[in-house]
């Protein structure tokens, strides 16, 4: 058993909505869990190593509740023409491994993948758990559920009618998914449909939820237009993804059902900002029509106290697995009215609750896994600093170290004191 005492650290406290200075944290690297958190450096147990963090700011690792690890965000279209990458299992697996490495290097320690070609996320999760590949921990959904020819149908289950939905969800459970993803409405990145198109009936949507919950799994609904969001909420989905347009009635329904919203604001913003010469006009036009409405809807949800779990739709155009998750948090502050602390919560405790793993993730407390990031600056004062390079720890071990650029930063870098104390 190896225990490390991380001392002289400012730890983010969800209840206080701020970082608490002069803390210590003891980690057992054999179990990967935190065994003690407290004031000062005094501890109640023997440790093998002490690491002075020099007052750095530590928060739980970033959790992203909406990713697509089998997609490469810079490889969608050329010159506005639909020239996608190969849809082979080999290409998708290669992309997934690359995206996993990018994610962990940028502080993302847990993802919920909500749609993967060939169920590749199921295998990637196994590889990550065995230590064969570098990356965040993974909550899997396998292939998403679409109607025949509907949104996401190219790489998902195509099901029509209650019986096909039921059998499809049961098959997905047999394959080993942790979550079910259903495309309740149309969307932006498929021609010939709009975010307002409702693609599954209420009965089909409810069937997916019932089957998922029966097996103790969660269910996520791609739902963009208001009517589709209402259908998803009534069906009992744990999370609604995107929510471009929601009214007061929908807000009230969300409160009643305990629905969590996963905004994916950067998915829209990235296309709006960078996609002029590469994303087809039909897709950009849908973004232009809906982006202000989308941001206003998320603002309304925040003001109403609807739980927000950070998710980016990583893998969509110009929206990858590096600093985009941290930038999504900045968008919540700048465009949706969150405080920086609320944005931090959206990417930590709120994600953990939405994913039903909050008994072991989302806070720096004893008993939780020691997945955390360490920064020289306080993100409660400036949320954008989370986008900077940082130290990343997984199961209590540093898996990515911030590049040291200046003498000042060198002095602030963690230093190990070898001792059995």
pLDDT tens for 187-210 read: 998 888 999 999 999 999 999 999
Higher per-residue pLDDT: 74 or 353: 353
Q: What is the pLDDT of residue 81?
A: 53
For residue 103, the SS3 value is helix
User: Is the pLDDT higher at 74 or at 161?
Assistant: 161
Q: CA 35: distance to chain centroid?
A: 26
Spatial neighbors of 157 by CB under 8 A, at least 6 apart, are 143, 144, 145, 146, 168, 171, 172
Query: How far is residue 126 CA from its own chain's centroid?
Result: 19
Per-residue pLDDT tens digits for 314-326: 999 999 999 999 9
> Tokens in use for 136?
């965040």
CA distance 1 to 192: 58
Tokens (6 digits) for 235: 């069906």
> Which are the contacts of 46, defined by CB distance < 8 A and separation ≥ 6?
3, 420, 421
All domains of the chain in start order, with CATH: 3-61+362-418 (2.30.40.10), 66-354 (3.20.20.140)
Whether the model clears a pTM of 0.75, i.e. scores above it, the answer is yes
Mind listing the pLDDT tens digit for each residue in 232-271?
999 999 999 999 999 999 999 999 999 999 999 999 999 9
The pLDDT of residue 419 is 35
């Amino acid at each position: 058993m190896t225990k490390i005492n991380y001392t002289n650290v400012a730890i983010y406290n969800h209840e206080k909505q701020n970082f608490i200075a002069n803390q210590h944290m003891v980690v057992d690297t054999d179990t990967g869990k935190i065994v003690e958190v407290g004031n000062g450096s005094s501890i109640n147990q023997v440790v093998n190593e002490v690491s002075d963090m020099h007052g750095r700011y530590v928060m739980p690792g970033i959790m992203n509740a909406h990713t697509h690890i089998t997609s490469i965000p810079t490889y969608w279209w050329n010159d506005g023409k639909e020239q996608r990458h190969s849809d082979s299992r080999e290409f998708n697996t290669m992309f997934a491994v690359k995206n996993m490495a990018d994610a962990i290097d940028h502080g993302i320690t847990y993802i919920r993948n909500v749609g993967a070609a060939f169920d590749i996320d199921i295998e990637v999760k196994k590889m990550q758990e065995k230590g064969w590949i570098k990356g965040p921990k993974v909550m899997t959904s396998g292939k998403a559920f679409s109607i025949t020819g509907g949104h996401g149908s190219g790489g998902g289950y195509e099901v029509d009618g209650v019986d096909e939905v039921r059998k499809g969800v049961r098959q997905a459970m047999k394959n080993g998914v942790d979550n079910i993803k259903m495309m309740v409405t149309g969307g932006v990145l498929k021609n010939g449909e709009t975010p307002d198109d409702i693609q599954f009936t209420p009965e089909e949507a409810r069937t997916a939820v019932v089957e998922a919950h029966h097996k103790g799994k969660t269910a996520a609904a791609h739902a963009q237009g208001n009517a589709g969001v209402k259908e998803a909420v009534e069906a009992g989905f744990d999370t609604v993804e995107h929510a471009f347009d929601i009214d007061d009635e929908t807000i009230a329904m969300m409160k009643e059902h305990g629905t969590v919203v996963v905004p994916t604001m950067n998915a829209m913003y990235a296309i709006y900002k960078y996609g002029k010469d590469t994303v087809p006009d039909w897709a950009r036009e849908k973004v232009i029509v809906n982006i202000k409405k989308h941001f206003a809807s998320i603002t309304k949800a925040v003001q109403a106290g609807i739980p927000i779990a950070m998710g980016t739709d990583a893998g969509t155009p110009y929206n990858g697995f590096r600093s985009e998750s941290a930038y999504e948090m900045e968008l919540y502050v700048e465009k949706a009215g969150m405080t920086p602390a609320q944005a931090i919560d959206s990417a930590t405790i709120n994600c953990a609750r939405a994913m039903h793993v909050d008994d072991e993730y989302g806070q720096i407390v004893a008993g939780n896994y020691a997945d955390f990031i360490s920064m020289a600056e306080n993100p409660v004062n400036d949320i954008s600093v989370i986008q900077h390079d940082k130290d990343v720890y997984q199961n209590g071990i540093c898996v990515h170290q911030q590049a040291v650029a200046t003498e000042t930063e060198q002095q602030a870098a963690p230093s190990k004191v070898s001792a059995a104390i």
